[in-house]
Structure 1
Amino acid sequence: MANHKLENKIYAIKVLNKEAILKRNEVKHIMAERNVLINNLEHPFLVGLHYSFQSTDKLYFVLDYVNGAEIAHAIGYMHLKNIIYRDLKPENILIDSDGHIKLTDFGLCKEGIQANTTTSPFCGTPEYLAPEILLKKPYTRAIDWWCLGCVIYEMLYGLPPFYSRNTTEMYSNISNEQLRLNPEVFVSDYAKNIMKQLLQKEQFRRLGSSEADFEEIQDHPFFGDIDWRTDCSNCQEKSHLDHLGPSPSFVELLNLGFV
């Protein structure tokens, strides 16, 4: 991220290594990306390119900065209601008509999980399972913060951490291998740090694992530019489904409106 001194506006900067581009024969792809980004500039729901420049060995794209805090806020809200999600992944993150995220598919949620409560069912999506689930240990709501780390990693690197096409190998990687951060992809120090803390294999040392839960996430420097009160001021429970008449606990699940 970078702050434009004259505009006082935050931008995201994508840094590309020229040598790596040439080795992978991706010059045409990069130019196509640049052209598409330029054409996206005026559309409100697409990331646009504002500036591009280069140094001797790198290319720089200055892009719209998109607030990534809403996913964390959504998980924090569910935890406040004593619900763990257990299935955070890109496929379950939707974008509404205002460009805000909404989480969907609450089939794996579990109610009644407070700060010190554990549960043990084996469930979730293979790529995003926390080590404690694979090791069949009782787990806490900290599994959702592991999943957040996986999503951040995938957004930055293109694949989930520890990924393998062989599920058995992937489970072994999740349980035993150290987190690898590709040095050819530019990622801020804050982003690296939050991924390392969220993808901590020991659940009780994981960021967000204490009773403070979401507050630990809020306080991390990765979210330092987020004003949680104003940027998420529209976060509220919705009641438009109350007339359907299911039990209150089910209505809570359906009414989690993360705007």
Structure 2
Amino acid sequence: MTAARIGWIGLGDQGVPLVRRLLASPYDVVLWARREQSLEPFAGTRAALAASPAELGERCDVVGVCVTADADVVDVVVGGGLLEAMRPGTTLVIHSTVAPRTCAALAERAAPQGVHVIDAPVTRDGASHDESRVSLLVGGEADVVERARPVLRAYADFVFHLGPLGSGQHMKIINNTLAVSNLALIFDALRVGEAAGLDPEEMLAALRHTSGGSVMVGLTRFYRPEPRMDYVNLLNKDVGLFAGLVSGQPPSLLNEIARETVDRLLAAGRSGPGAGDPPILKGQ
């Protein structure tokens, strides 16, 4: 796919750094965004712009979609005319974290026109875009994934093929729920340390360089002293997806910890500015 033209929809916190990586590659890049201001980071770059999702679909060989939730994906891919305009043999890559059944429904719709669908949600191993490596957790038919791999590697450090379509979503949902549970343990560790007279900020600085740390140590700034509700809402979405994943299975400790953590963060956010640390940090 050395001559492939890559289309991209979704220029939020996740999408913008990935497109910057794409623009450093040999691939031609075409962008579309609902809001014109979302395109501002790429003013003066070699990125081409499409007037609609349908136009982007017509022009591109591989299209990445990196929007927030299931309804957004369906709205762009189906409602925006993207899928209908894509040519036989092209590939749609779902980078959003959504229910596996959403990917399956899109693949079923795409099959009659010969368009391939893979899911490749995005994750990172660092607390900031600059200091982290990007991994794609991929699900799809092996031959489709292998054909797309050179494109995916243009903006990802690692590409993990987990299995058939939907497997990437399963892995991402499990990962994100595990991350929420890590956050709960970090908050509890800070509570214990503070009770012992330790400075919480110095504890976090130390944990970034010790065996007990994790990526989530660097992300606690989004959840304390007041949680950023856009981040909490994303956690709530992903934990809800995990609950659907384990439905009908034996009780999941991961599900219980993550659900309680998100509920407490939601409650802390509703209490408004100045409410102090999330209740879980206070041990309430």
Taking structure 1 as the reference length, the TM-score comes to 0.30
Higher helix fraction (1 or 2): 2
Larger RCO (alpha carbons 8 Å, 6+ apart) = 1
